[in-house]
Structure 1
Amino acid sequence: MPMDTSINQSSAETVFDVDQEQLARIYAKAFLSATSSQDQAALVEELDSLVSDVLDKFPEFDFRLTSTVMSHEEREALIDNVLGSRASSPVVNLLKTLSQNGRQILVRPVIAAIHKLVGEMRGEHEVRVYIPSELSTELTDGLRQALQSRLGVNAEFHFHVKPELIGGMVVQVGDTVFDGSVRTTLERARRQMVESAVAAIESRPDKFMLDK
């Protein structure tokens, strides 16, 4: 079952709220680009430890680090006091950068995004497939095989039901979204009709002026 060639490819938006994930990937990419490939494995391990050994075990610190209750200056002092002598400079700088930009809530999403990006560098990909209703096991397996063949990557597939799609599907691979949903098709058609009408009015305004 080949993937519909009319599916629209976008690198920024889908019909779902993926803004947080996309933003987390931006910070994750910046973090990795500022570190050498030799250091990345150790840094990922350190970030995992930050989550499991610090944030998970000390919920009050987690709350203060990621909430908007504190100012950036207070949060920066907290980071220095708690992690300054224990964490590496790249990790401390990441936390301070998120705080300075008012993105402290993204600490965990950024760490998850760093994991995904490192996996993608190794040729490991996660594919999210959004469908309007549950599929049978047979159809799910067939769709997985078709997408695997079409995308040409080794991937772990995750299927999510989104009734608002109406029909069709949305496939997300990393930063790229293939949007073939009926909802998006209808919205695209509506926008085209509006744009055509506006263009017609602007090109011949005299035809559309009412008699006074």
Structure 2
Amino acid sequence: MSTQRVAHRYASALLALTGEQKKPDAVAADLRTVLNAVEASRELRAVLASPVISTEKKRAVVRDLFKKKVGDLALLYMDSIVLKGREGLLHDILKAYFVLRDEQLGIARVTVTAAAELSAKQEKELQKQLEAMTGKSVELTVTVDPAVKGGFIARVGDTVLDASVKRQLELLKQRLTQGTFTN
């Protein structure tokens, strides 16, 4: 079975498990803490992926790192992942979990790259437009890149909405060089 399918199955089971809890948002916050730590620490990823390090040592590392930072459910889940020999997939499992959770809650995470900093009013208006377009509640992450030259580029999953001046200039150049430009 492919690693993506395995990660998806573990993520589905985790989503079902967290849905049964009294405070699923608290568990999700714990899992976000774990995901951030895994993404931030190359050493942690190396320890988890290493076939040389014993299962017991990996369990001890996970317990020591997270026992004061996350709740019991997240800790037990990570422990079971290590016991089953799937610790190398922890990052993929957690990423898949948050994708499934967002789908379940009707949330679209949108990354917007703009030429300049957006005002609060512009962000709110853009969020409203993207919510109308996606039919979901939108959570924006805005970054600034002067190479965009104006406008913005929005990424929702695999979909890219390119409303940048740079893209418009590229299209104009393409039309002019192909001789397809008409008034």
1:66 maps onto 2:45 in alignment: yes
1:117 to 96, 100, 105: 100
Worse-superposed segment, 170-179 or 137-146: 137-146
Conservation of the 8 A alpha-carbon contact between 1:76 and 1:96: no
Match of 1:167 in 2: 150
Structure 1: which 5+ residue stretches go unaligned? 1-25, 57-61, 99-106, 197-212
Conservation of the 8 A alpha-carbon contact between 1:32 and 1:40: no
Match of 1:150 in 2: 133
Amino acid at match of 2:155: Q
Within 2, Cα distance between the matches of 1:97 and 1:72? Answer: 12
Q: How many residues align?
A: 153
1:48 maps onto 2:27 in alignment: no
Report the RMSD for the aligned CA atoms in angstroms.
4.6
Q: CA deviation at 1:174?
A: 2.7
Within 2, Cα distance between the matches of 1:71 and 1:135? Answer: 40
CA-to-aligned-CA distance 1:181-200 (integer Å, 9 cap, x gap): 23345556778999x7xxxx
Match of 1:38 in 2: 16
DSSP-derived class of the 2:118 partner: coil
Structure 2: which 5+ residue stretches go unaligned? 64-75, 179-183
User: Percent sequence identity over matched residues?
Assistant: 21
Conservation of the 8 A alpha-carbon contact between 2:127 and 2:140: yes
Higher relative CO (CA 8 A, sep ≥ 6), structure 1 or 2?
Answer: 1
Structure showing greater Rg: 1
DSSP-derived class of the 1:169 partner: strand
